[in-house]
Structure 1
């Protein structure tokens, strides 16, 4: 018997078996990577570049992603470029693969949508260039205190009367004295329905204070609350398909405290007369920048003063999904920091009117200036060109 030959043969068999096991492990790792990839991409903070770096080519991966996942990835990545929290899309109601007209479902350029987290865009010539620096009021908050002054300059942004850029602010407290808009924790102090629509003058780029240390730079900070865009359900069994509210917005990660600033409405700034000509669904996402009805515009504004609206049909952010309620949990105020009030293009900022529980839909009153019925659902006179309201509020106008 040749023992050496037998040992050599056993070694060869052992090596082949080891190779087979190694190949099996590689295949297993490949399957595990696919499973992990599918799990990872369901979370919005994993961006396309991260997936590419970890797993190589992503072309095959994208074919396995749903449109909801693609929208979540794209919107979260765009929001993250400004430092804002993630945005996810979910549908627990039916098989619709996401809101229409947002891309990822056709090759048509008509389907393209541009996400604008923090700032609207415009193609109007008079708005393309910012105002000259000398047109802005500015403060010296943050400079060393003057020994002869009773005001601590490091904290004077929190004292409206001491902050130089607040000279044109009309905010006052209950004693009619100049007031600041925010608490030290960054909550909007005028969080009530009666105060909706006021204008806040925030510190600007020419002020000496900094973004995160200044208590008067809240609306211009990145959004810290994660948002979920979700498919809503009809509020009543009798509600027809046309009465469903489509897609809405909520936060499932945390309770949203009363006074929390959530972000501003973005889109394309257009002339008011242009917005008024939009018909049907083309006018669905228009928000007037001065918050006034045309009748008020005619009475209060000079014919030579241009007024504007924001159209979020082809570009905008998550706020375009805020549905109407006659008794909402959000409201809007105007804020100015990168323009001057005379330009009539303030930021429209959303804030929480009350503590909003996790998972509760965020809503806003589309007609905040119109009175509600005093008691119950006694519908007030319905204007022409309005739709029946299905908000379900205890005090509902009956139309929207």
Structure 2
């Protein structure tokens, strides 16, 4: 069977013999009554756990709308107009609104990137800024000791509206909800402390209850309240197929339930070979983001198997500490030992890759230099087909193959 795999803005075709193909993990089919801006409008009109946004906001208040950065697939230009319409109905002035891009530990945007994220009209009428982790306000501490150090413009606002898309997160359970604040507009020290819980066995994709990372980041909101969220679920083509609005926990949890209905995929057995892609740009812009697909794929491969990771990574590693750890490590095992004794943000993703390497080899189809790929313990290939041929050579031509074309969104769950 010929299967299309997206890498960056391009497509590659891989031919897998029918006898070898275990399956293709795509979203479950469900009826979608409302999509795009209509789904957002419905959510705004029917908030969960809070009054309507226009009944929360008061005229004259300083409002921040926190939205995702360029590495996330959230279509802010679709979500924002409905929110701004409600604010206008409350006679909120444009000059009292600021859109803040939640960078977390990511790089700053160019003006063109900001314009692309929110659309020309919004960019020209509403102030848009990047979160600044160096200019922050200390608002408290969680029980874990995580400092709630928040970008000043967010900390000092009268009202905070948080946007996000909900997908599986490899140690916070799910993205979305309170993650717009922690780590979205938090300091590196704060993010580092929160993420240090990732080594806990309960900090896994698809788990919210008793997940220490999620519990800690939601506790941060006791110090930096969120007034309203709008979160969306996207399909493989990054179209909005569902939206929730309202309370940062209650609405978020309903969104997570919807996500599970579509993207939680039961598998009957572990595969010898898993082909996984983030689904193309912008989610595979760098290795820091592409790693998410790799982490989901580890749930589908047998010990001693091979994961063929597909991601453009045209911007390289995407994070300095992540790159430094990978380049400096003498072997992958040393990364796991290091994270236990010296937790550093960025290093945590290097260690996560090392944990996958404990279970399986990683063949990497990307735009990164082959020698560089080899130096970080993966095997480089120019195409998915060549990587698969090599995997068959190593594991045998009876090997079973599972394909995850949208690996960052799809969570394999072994049914046994």
Class of the TM-score when normalised by the shorter of the 2 chains: under 0.3
Tell me the TM-score normalised to structure 1 length.
Answer: 0.26
Write 1 or 2 for the structure with the bigger share of helix. Answer: 2
Tell me the TM-score normalised to structure 2 length.
Answer: 0.25
Greater relative CO (CA pairs within 8 A, separation 6+) = 2
